[in-house]
Amino acid sequence: MKVAYRSDIGRIRLVNEDRGWAEQSETGLAFAIVADGMGGHQAGDVASQLAIDTFREVLQGTTAAHSLDERKVLIRQAILQANEVVFDMASRNDQYHNMGTTVVAALLQTENGVIGHIGDSRAYKWRDGVLSQLTEDHTLVNELVKSGQITSEEAINHPRRNVLTRALGTDAQVEVDVRGIPWAPGDLLLLCSDGLTNMVSVQEMTETFLLDELDLDGKADRLVQLALQAGGDDNITVVLMHHAEDTKQEE
């Protein structure tokens, strides 16, 4: 497994409220998570960091000896525990009132993986020249598209496109979307915040992954630069995981 992680404050924001983490255990199980925080008075970065820290604490020490169904339970438990921690902090501190975060996370083994998410941070898989979106945004605009009230094209520039219908830490109870995915040699997984997907098209992402002259590190850099060149309106965070024979983490 190769891993590359990048996070950039962007061109507009004063604080980077995105957080990310990726790691591979000695047993071969790989973890990754991206969180995009929100909340007044710089509470967003507190929410996203708490979510990442809790997720790590729950999962570190986990072995690869888990079935796919067991890992689905595990990733759901880790995200729900993060929800408890963030909600508790927000409830007990006025300065953190209503803070929350999106989260998209992955647990990968040799042949398959599990994706869990809340909000509009996304997961994509690249296989055989095709980029597939693995998550569905929990947003008002996505609900409008699904109900046929607006088109996908109208959703791109809709004035309320950033309104979430679900987030981590804003309520005591939250639903986590969890799914299993095939994971084979040559596959590449992208986890990212909406600072990437609101600025960079699927076509541009595809063109990036097709550039054989760029290593995983270079592809992560290019994705961030494309978002910055398009305006960099938000924080941008990218985690790339490549199912490769040699194991390397690129910083």
- For residue 155, the model assigns a pLDDT of 84
Tell me what the mean pLDDT of segment 21-37 comes to: 90
Angle between helix 43-59 and helix 68-92 axes, rounded to 10 deg: 140
N-to-C CA span, the chain: 14
Determine if residue 184 is left, alpha or beta; phi over 0 gives left, psi from -120 to 50 gives alpha, anything else beta. beta
CA–CA distance, 176 with 40 (Å, rounded to integer): 24
- At 200-224, the pLDDT tens digits run 999 999 999 999 999 999 999 999 9
Residue 67 has pLDDT above 80, yes or no: yes
CA–CA distance, 127 with 106 (Å, rounded to integer): 17
- For residue 246, the model assigns a pLDDT of 57
Residue 226 has pLDDT above 90, yes or no: yes
CA–CA distance, 46 with 95 (Å, rounded to integer): 11
Tell me what the mean pLDDT of segment 16-40 comes to: 90
pLDDT band at 40 (very low <50, low <70, confident <90, very high): low
The single residue listed with the structure tokens 């898989």 is: 125
- At 112-171, the pLDDT tens digits run 999 999 999 999 999 999 999 999 999 999 899 899 998 888 888 888 888 999 999 999
pLDDT band at 249 (very low <50, low <70, confident <90, very high): very low
pLDDT band at 36 (very low <50, low <70, confident <90, very high): very high
> Given CA atoms 40, 41, 42, 48 in this order, what sign does their dihedral have?
negative
Q: Which residues of 62-75 are buried (b: 16+ CB within 10 A; e: fewer)?
A: beeebeeeebbebb
C-beta neighbour count of 12 within 10 angstroms: 11
Domains of the chain: 2-242 (3.60.40.10)
Query: Average pLDDT, whole number, for the chain?
Result: 92
- For residue 65, the model assigns a pLDDT of 57
CA–CA distance, 244 with 149 (Å, rounded to integer): 43
Tell me what the mean pLDDT of segment 7-27 comes to: 92
Segment (H or E) for 107: strand 100-108
CA–CA distance, 179 with 105 (Å, rounded to integer): 11
CA–CA distance, 238 with 122 (Å, rounded to integer): 10
Q: Which amino acid is at 46?
A: V
The percentage of residues in the chain with a pLDDT greater than 70, rounded to a whole number, is 94
Q: Which residues of 120-150 are buried (b: 16+ CB within 10 A; e: fewer)?
A: bbbbbbbbeeebeebbebbbbbbebbeeeee
CA–CA distance, 88 with 50 (Å, rounded to integer): 11
Pull the structure tokens for residue 212: 């054989």
Using an 8 Å Cβ cutoff, are 176 and 80 in contact? yes
CA–CA distance, 127 with 136 (Å, rounded to integer): 19
